């Protein structure tokens, strides 16, 4: 028993020893052949799309996608640019959608008088869009009963 185990250990080690790339054959870095030291050119970023009407949601609980640019909109501990348009005090004057009631609920279910900390960093869930080819095809369909 012990002997067989030892033998197979030797054989396995031998396999790796002879061909260390045996399991890494198809793995290639996104950097291609460029070494880390070489200067690489930063890719040009795609332009976020300009302001548009709200984008239809694909499923009920989806955080709505942001239909406008958010360049330069900062969210810091003292100031939240998104709330300057989307808060309940400001939304009417700005013609924006007000944040929903769920955004005032703490993780323990308490309703707070201001945006709950877990909802403060808006772009954690809401993302702007670019018109680009999809990276991975997706044929998701919402369940019939919850289609809206």
Q: Which residues bind ligand HEC (CB under 6 A)?
A: 53-54, 61, 63-64, 66-68, 70, 73, 80-86, 94-97, 99-100, 102-103, 115, 118-126
Residue 112 Cβ vs ligand HEC, minimum distance, rounded to whole Å:
13
Question: By C-beta, is 48 or 99 nearer to ligand HEC?
Answer: 99
Residue 142 Cβ vs ligand HEC, minimum distance, rounded to whole Å:
14
Question: By C-beta, is 35 or 61 nearer to ligand HEC?
Answer: 61
Residue 43 Cβ vs ligand HEC, minimum distance, rounded to whole Å:
23
> How far from 76 is each of 63, 89, 126, CA to CA, in Å?
21, 19, 16
Separation between Cα atoms, residue 110 and residue 116, nearest integer Å:
9
Contact 60, 142 (CB under 8 A): yes
State the number of CA atoms in the 13 A half-sphere of 66 facing the CB. Answer: 21
Question: By C-beta, is 2 or 79 nearer to ligand HEC?
Answer: 79
Question: By C-beta, is 40 or 124 nearer to ligand HEC?
Answer: 124
Residue 140 Cβ vs ligand HEC, minimum distance, rounded to whole Å:
16
Helix and strand counts by DSSP (H, E) for the chain: 3, 0
Of 20, 50, 21, 53, whose CA–CA distance to 129 is shortest? 50
């Amino acid at each position: 028993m012990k002997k067989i185990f030892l033998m197979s250990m030797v054989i396995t080690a031998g396999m790796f020893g002879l061909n260390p790339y045996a399991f890494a054959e198809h793995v290639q870095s996104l950097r291609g052949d460029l070494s880390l030291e070489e200067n690489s050119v930063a890719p040009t970023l795609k332009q976020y799309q300009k302001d548009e009407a709200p984008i239809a949601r694909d499923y009920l609980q989806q955080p709505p996608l942001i239909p406008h640019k958010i360049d330069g909109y900062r969210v810091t501990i003292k100031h939240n640019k998104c709330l300057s348009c989307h808060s309940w005090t400001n939304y009417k004057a700005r013609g924006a959608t007000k944040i929903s009631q769920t955004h005032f609920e703490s993780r323990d279910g308490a309703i707070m008088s201001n945006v709950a900390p877990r909802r403060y960093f808006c772009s954690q869930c809401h993302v702007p869009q670019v018109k680009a080819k999809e990276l991975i095809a997706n044929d998701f369909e919402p369940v019939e009963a919850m289609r809206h």
